[in-house]
Structure 1
Amino acid sequence: MICVILRTTSKDSGSYMCVATNHFNKTNIFTSSSEVMITVKDVVSTPDISFTVLKEYSHNYSAEVTCQSTKGTPPVTFSLYNRTELVTNITIEERIATFKVPLVLDQYLGRLRCQANNGDQIEFSQWIPLEVVPVGGPVIMHYDYDVGENYAVSGLRLYCKAAKGSLPLYQWFLNKTLLHDRGSFYYVVNQPPGQSMLLLSVGRSSAGTYHCEVSDSFDNTSSISSSGLYLDEEVLNRLPVLVVAVVLGCFIFLVVLVSICCLVGAMFRQRQNEGKSLLSLEMNVAAYEGELDSSEYDENADLVETTRGDAFHLASETSVDEWPKIEKEKNTLQDERTS
């Protein structure tokens, strides 16, 4: 007989026994058993690596590096590497180990990685830089808000951020009183190392002057403060002077722009009307000149016709007066030819 256990884990570890019995006529004739101890080891998981800074005495710091695997049957051997160099190792009956490494602030000291080994498998953590930058200014604080149905400010989000710092510690103050993690009208949300956020519900309790302070989490003997910011419901719902100035400036600009457009349009129409008047005058002058030319032509034609008529009348009158003389000369010529 074969017994198979699939997907074994450390929970399947223990003592296993096999019993064989021979039955005949409902009577046990022979019974045999055997026992074996089986240990199932969980494979170690990929370890996580992190470190905190310890201040031992003035200007002397060290990094406490933590390596931890969430799974794996102990004992586990943890090894710490800086680049390719082995720094130290330890074998313990737990899935977490700590190492202490000398540290110099504001100086890059290499990259660290953990190795976890419980005999069946070896796993490596990610690389992390061994560098700690002290907190430095300036510290900037700003906010944004949520608007309710009546367009009144109902909620605020204040943000605090230092210019630099690897392990900053943020603290919020209202009227120079320290605000803890949570209160009746506020809630602190730390987002290290980037920034810290203070959530506020706008009301009478939240009115006052806010500021934040940032220090190194491993040395809070000195801190850098932001400038104060006074906030209350009336101030938040009042239109800022800059907004009023911008709106008023835009309105004046539009009025001036419309006035300029109207003036330009009036000048353009005046020029168009002047052009049309000049063109009409030129057309009238041309028509008048054409009428003058045609009348002069007609007068000249009448003069020519009159002259021609007078000449014809004159010629007619001359020919009638001389007709007897011509007749006489004709008869004289005929007589001469006969004689």
Structure 2
Amino acid sequence: MNCHKLLAILALTCLLFKISGSRSLRPMLNGPDMAFLNTKVVFQCFAHSSSPTIIYKLIRDGKFLIGIHVGHKRDRNATFSLKVKAASAGLYQCTATAGRSTGVSNRIRLTLVTPASNTRVTSEPSPPTVYEGSGIILRCDADRGSHLFYTWFFNRKEVTPSTSGFHLTGNQLLMEGVTPEHAGTYYCIAWSVVQDIRRFSTSTEVTVTVKVYASKPEISFSVFKAGGSYHSNITCWSSRGSPPATFYLLLDDKQVGSVVASESLSAWFDVALVIGLDMGDARCRLKTDVQDLLSEFVTLEVVPVGGRLKLEVDYLYTAESKLAAARLSCQVSRGTFPHFSWLFNNSVLPSQSHMDSHSQPSLSQFAFDDRTQTLILTKLGPEDSGYYRCRARDSFNPSGQWVQSAAVLVQVTDQILNMMSQATSCSDTLQSLYTSPFESIALLFCCFFILILAVGFICVYKMFDHSQASPDIPAANPGSAPLHLSEPESLSVALQAQVFFADQEVENQVNIKLKTAQLSLLSSHNTGLLS
């Protein structure tokens, strides 16, 4: 009976030991969760068991057996190495069996990462040509690829989230309110990373063009002679804008010509011309793919040079009132395209375009302005004194007749220059005598303080004098008879009156002198401040 009980206890103990052994068999699976296609990955499975051998199985998606490994006491780890294929993605688990105990490991989901290939940049709008102020979207597209990251480059420099004027989102590069500074070359790199291994695919460069809206066209014309007839060279241009554009010439609102400007916004038209005849009103028309603009009118009429020429002389002075230069201006009464020339003492002065090292003008130094319409004597001396004339003719007719002004005398002598230098030195000397504003203010306050002291002294003196004189004057009694003063008393009163009026006169003279000194100081102070 006791033997049966002992056998039952032993059987129960073995059963409990087996159950506890099966529960403690908990294998652990380690391995990657991402892998590139056609690469090799390694999974490792390990379980604690007292059994001499452990059988490991690697299973995918709960039904596909990937591999079996038998672990012994010396090597409990199971290593499974496999090449990643398209069907390798899935959920991996490891089972461990030791005797009659079996345990299931944790799960690892393996995701396949496809490297990018055939990367390119696409744009919206396409082609990537936009006008300033609009928006553009660039996309980095790849034919194949998963788990991709994107890097953008503008003019070979990387675009980061902190780069001004750009917005990165996914595979897109956004630009809003573009300016000409956004124009340039762009490309992108699509890349993915697995266990510090990166795979790249780079696109080709795409050029983004930012067009500038054209400004209002302008028009001008010149005249030239070809053979025996005259022609007008009409120029149409815009100071701002992006080509290409088409210029049209309208004469009295009728189109007479057109030019396609592909490099710069300018065009030229040749129109026959008759001197002195109104050929009509011309204007330019500019057309682009988004704009249609018109210039102002210009009258195609060339008036020959004629009438009377007026010569005016202006002398220019420095801030120190020193004679610095003389400006001679020539005004023609009529003429559309005048050409001016200058004479000094009946000798023609060479223009700047014809002046060379062999030219020896008699003037010390001179210059031209406004297409030689103005002559400026920049360095005056006695040698610049003389008679000046100006003359004009039609610029398009070199053999035309000159219209000449009357002679004007410009006289610069040593005496005038010396007087100017002396006046300058005198003004400098007077200016050096002026005190500074702070010294003037201090002196003014001192004088004001002295004036207050003097007035106070006079007031105290007068009060004391009146207090001494009041007891000697008897009170008036209307009921009494007139009081007759004796000779000594009348003399005393007369002396007091003389003293009183003398004091008044002294006080008035002191006040006048103090006020005069105060006004003089204020005048000198204001003069110093103005200088």
**Is TM-score (shorter-chain normalized) higher than 0.5?**
yes
Corresponding residue for 1:73?
242
The CA distance in 1 between the partners of 2:257 and 2:337, in whole Å, is: 25
How far off its partner does 1:215 sit? 0.6
Corresponding residue for 1:199?
376
Q: Which has the higher helix share?
A: 1
Consecutive unaligned residues in structure 2, runs of 5 or more: 1-169, 353-362, 417-531
- Given that residues 339 and 394 in structure 2 are in contact (C-alpha distance below 8 angstroms), is that contact kept between their aligned partners in structure 1? yes
How far off its partner does 1:10 sit? 5.3
Corresponding residue for 2:386?
208
Choose which of 368, 375, 388 in structure 2 pairs with 1:188.
368
- Given that residues 382 and 413 in structure 2 are in contact (C-alpha distance below 8 angstroms), is that contact kept between their aligned partners in structure 1? no
* 1:230 aligns to 2:393 (yes or no): no
After TM superposition, the structure 1 = structure 2 runs for residues 14-29 of structure 1, keeping only pairs within 5 Å, are: 14-28=184-198
The CA distance in 2 between the partners of 1:20 and 1:151, in whole Å, is: 75
Corresponding residue for 1:91?
260
How far off its partner does 1:208 sit? 2.0
- Given that residues 220 and 235 in structure 2 are in contact (C-alpha distance below 8 angstroms), is that contact kept between their aligned partners in structure 1? yes
Corresponding residue for 2:251?
82
- Given that residues 364 and 384 in structure 2 are in contact (C-alpha distance below 8 angstroms), is that contact kept between their aligned partners in structure 1? no
How far off its partner does 1:53 sit? 0.4
Instruction: Look up the SS of the partner of 2:406 in the other structure.
Output: coil
- Given that residues 326 and 376 in structure 2 are in contact (C-alpha distance below 8 angstroms), is that contact kept between their aligned partners in structure 1? yes
How far off its partner does 1:154 sit? 5.7
Which range moves more in the overlay, 130-139 or 75-84? 75-84
Corresponding residue for 2:304?
134
- Given that residues 179 and 210 in structure 2 are in contact (C-alpha distance below 8 angstroms), is that contact kept between their aligned partners in structure 1? yes
Q: 1:20 to 1:146 in 2, by over 3 A?
A: closer
Instruction: Look up the SS of the partner of 1:126 in the other structure.
Output: coil
Instruction: Look up the SS of the partner of 2:277 in the other structure.
Output: coil
Q: 1:15 to 1:151 in 2, by over 3 A?
A: closer
How far off its partner does 1:234 sit? 5.0
Instruction: Look up the SS of the partner of 1:89 in the other structure.
Output: strand
Q: 1:75 to 1:228 in 2, by over 3 A?
A: same
TM-score w.r.t. length of structure 1:
0.59
- Given that residues 222 and 232 in structure 2 are in contact (C-alpha distance below 8 angstroms), is that contact kept between their aligned partners in structure 1? yes
Give the count of matched residue pairs. 232
Residues 232-263 of structure 1: per-residue CA shift (max 9 Å, x gap): 225997xxxxxxxxxxxxxxxxxxxxxxxxxx
**Identity within the alignment, %:** 30
Q: In structure 2, what residue type is equivalent to 1:126?
A: E
How far off its partner does 1:84 sit? 1.6
How far off its partner does 1:51 sit? 0.8
Superposition RMSD on alpha carbons, in Å?
3.1
How far off its partner does 1:74 sit? 2.5
- Given that residues 113 and 128 in structure 1 are in contact (C-alpha distance below 8 angstroms), is that contact kept between their aligned partners in structure 2? yes
Q: 1:69 to 1:148 in 2, by over 3 A?
A: closer
After TM superposition, the structure 1 = structure 2 runs for residues 269-288 of structure 1, keeping only pairs within 5 Å, are: none
Q: In structure 2, what residue type is equivalent to 1:230?
A: L
How far off its partner does 1:49 sit? 1.4
- Given that residues 147 and 154 in structure 1 are in contact (C-alpha distance below 8 angstroms), is that contact kept between their aligned partners in structure 2? yes
- Given that residues 73 and 118 in structure 1 are in contact (C-alpha distance below 8 angstroms), is that contact kept between their aligned partners in structure 2? no
Which range moves more in the overlay, 133-142 or 150-159? 150-159
- Given that residues 308 and 405 in structure 2 are in contact (C-alpha distance below 8 angstroms), is that contact kept between their aligned partners in structure 1? yes
The CA distance in 1 between the partners of 2:189 and 2:307, in whole Å, is: 76
Q: In structure 1, what residue type is equivalent to 2:407?
A: G
Q: In structure 1, what residue type is equivalent to 2:387?
A: T
The CA distance in 1 between the partners of 2:313 and 2:241, in whole Å, is: 46
Q: 1:146 to 1:17 in 2, by over 3 A?
A: closer
The CA distance in 2 between the partners of 1:223 and 1:199, in whole Å, is: 22
- Given that residues 141 and 161 in structure 1 are in contact (C-alpha distance below 8 angstroms), is that contact kept between their aligned partners in structure 2? yes
The CA distance in 2 between the partners of 1:132 and 1:120, in whole Å, is: 36
Residues 215-241 of structure 1: per-residue CA shift (max 9 Å, x gap): 11111312111122333225997xxxx
Residues 172-215 of structure 1: per-residue CA shift (max 9 Å, x gap): 111222224567432222269xxx22222442221222111101
Q: 1:141 to 1:3 in 2, by over 3 A?
A: same
Corresponding residue for 1:156?
326
- Given that residues 133 and 164 in structure 1 are in contact (C-alpha distance below 8 angstroms), is that contact kept between their aligned partners in structure 2? yes
The CA distance in 2 between the partners of 1:219 and 1:226, in whole Å, is: 20
The CA distance in 2 between the partners of 1:18 and 1:165, in whole Å, is: 63
Q: 1:236 to 1:105 in 2, by over 3 A?
A: farther
The CA distance in 1 between the partners of 2:191 and 2:209, in whole Å, is: 27
Corresponding residue for 2:276?
106
How far off its partner does 1:160 sit? 1.4
How far off its partner does 1:101 sit? 0.9
Corresponding residue for 1:122?
292
How far off its partner does 1:39 sit? 3.3
How far off its partner does 1:146 sit? 4.4
TM-score w.r.t. length of structure 2:
0.39
Instruction: Look up the SS of the partner of 2:383 in the other structure.
Output: coil
Q: 1:235 to 1:139 in 2, by over 3 A?
A: farther
* 1:47 aligns to 2:224 (yes or no): no
Choose which of 198, 212, 220 in structure 1 pairs with 2:398.
220
How far off its partner does 1:82 sit? 1.6
Q: 1:236 to 1:125 in 2, by over 3 A?
A: farther
Residues 6-31 of structure 1: per-residue CA shift (max 9 Å, x gap): 44355644543333222222123x54
How far off its partner does 1:151 sit? 8.5
Q: In structure 2, what residue type is equivalent to 1:227?
A: A
- Given that residues 341 and 351 in structure 2 are in contact (C-alpha distance below 8 angstroms), is that contact kept between their aligned partners in structure 1? no
Q: 1:33 to 1:156 in 2, by over 3 A?
A: closer
